[in-house]
Structure 1
């Protein structure tokens, strides 16, 4: 099966990148018409991009490549992140990435394969902290993505509603930090380090890593076992042949 036939719903700009990254894709059921599967992502550079000429980001490109390798047609969906998680969890055979595997989500999804680890920390302009306990005492308002693992983690750690400042899509946490609207930003380390230099030359203080949870390609709670198996095998094959590392280094060369 030709790659261009496997991913008809993936824009040409992203398709060209995938063609370069994976010159030869061996797919299942090569003689059958590819089944179209919905993949839900969000704009979380460099993990996932919604509209970028380079492609879908580290996790997004790997997910699309795995779906293609497993013989599925990719249909990208973008919803507010909390709504996307609810929708995928309640549907059948819908995919979502990047999704952190944390206890509050464990029973809501079928966890297919880890794509990369994700460390999280507090970022601030004024005071660096070394623990969740110190952060509770230090920061009045902490920015987190609405419906994100970061929000769940802070609530699990006992931060108050007054301290947690959920950021909807369109809010720019780096700008809010610069304006003093939030005292700190609790977020993934790669994403924060990627975003900050594009916003300011001021020194960004990072805490010690507060938590770490792998980012997964996940499926609805009710997910066809064969699809789970094929996608899991595809992700591991992409890791084994070096594709995952090449994609990572393309977006984060240092």
Structure 2
């Protein structure tokens, strides 16, 4: 009895799968085309340029995504290019394409199939390791000198909130200004800020306030088979529980 029931389910599944145009078996040459941008420390070109392919990419998300695909046994290619709008549109429109890392926002939820989270993209106020500043709101930061990155969404948000950030042309300059006491707080991304600081030889910074939080994901085109999405998600969760994800994070930060 059980045998027949299982067989019937399997047949029904196969017929339904065919009707739905789903791939019951992945074609042996199935490959996901992965696109990314320069967004240290998650994705970056080893040479710092705005174009790179395969092994010339580096970063927390690059390492995690590579391992995820390898473990899932799914073929992929990986290209870093510019601008973001273009690669986002390709992933949205082209079957078998994906883009990473991107925030999983409610308005994007139905546009892609998601694998993640790969890591956070938080907005923080960082202080020196010996800072005794304590804040519970952005409002309270008004009494301090806050450094930000010119033209950045974080800087714009501070202005909207009535702060007057001191801006610089490169965010990493803020790490030096913080150490020199020219600013009290540095408004930046986490982990981006800590990574940039490390490049400048600055470490041990303290998070004084976390004022916004987003989780970053791999966004796959709607056409990518569910079994691919599920395999990748399972492997990511296994990597996280094994401590692989934490190891990668500590390598860059």
Same fold, judged at TM 0.5 (above):
yes
Q: How far off is 1:174 after superposition? A: 1.9
Q: Which residue does 1:41 correspond to in 2?
A: 37
RMSD after superposition: 4.4
- Judge conservation of contact 1:127–1:205 (CA < 8 Å) in 2: no
Number of aligned residue pairs: give it. Answer: 215
Alpha-carbon distance in 2 for matches of 1:241, 1:201 = 30
Normalising to structure 1: TM-score of the pair? 0.61
Q: How far off is 1:114 after superposition? A: 0.9
Q: How far off is 1:121 after superposition? A: 0.4
Q: How far off is 1:189 after superposition? A: 2.7
1:224 has 2:224 as partner: yes
Q: How far off is 1:210 after superposition? A: 1.5
Q: How far off is 1:145 after superposition? A: 7.3
- Judge conservation of contact 1:177–1:184 (CA < 8 Å) in 2: no
Structure whose alpha-carbon radius of gyration is higher: 2
Distance 1:97 1:164, change over 3 A: farther
Which of 109, 113, 122 is the equivalent residue of 1:110? 113
Q: How far off is 1:60 after superposition? A: 1.4
Normalising to structure 2: TM-score of the pair? 0.61
DSSP 3-state at the match of 2:43 = coil
Q: Which residue does 2:170 correspond to in 1?
A: 172
| Higher alpha-carbon deviation: 189-198 or 203-212 | 203-212
1:174-229, CA deviations, whole angstroms, 9 ceiling, x for partnerless residues?
2267579x996532233212221432669967531222322222224x34242322
Q: Structure 1: which 5+ runs fail to align? A: 1-28
Which of 120, 124, 130 is the equivalent residue of 1:121? 124
- Judge conservation of contact 2:118–2:217 (CA < 8 Å) in 1: yes
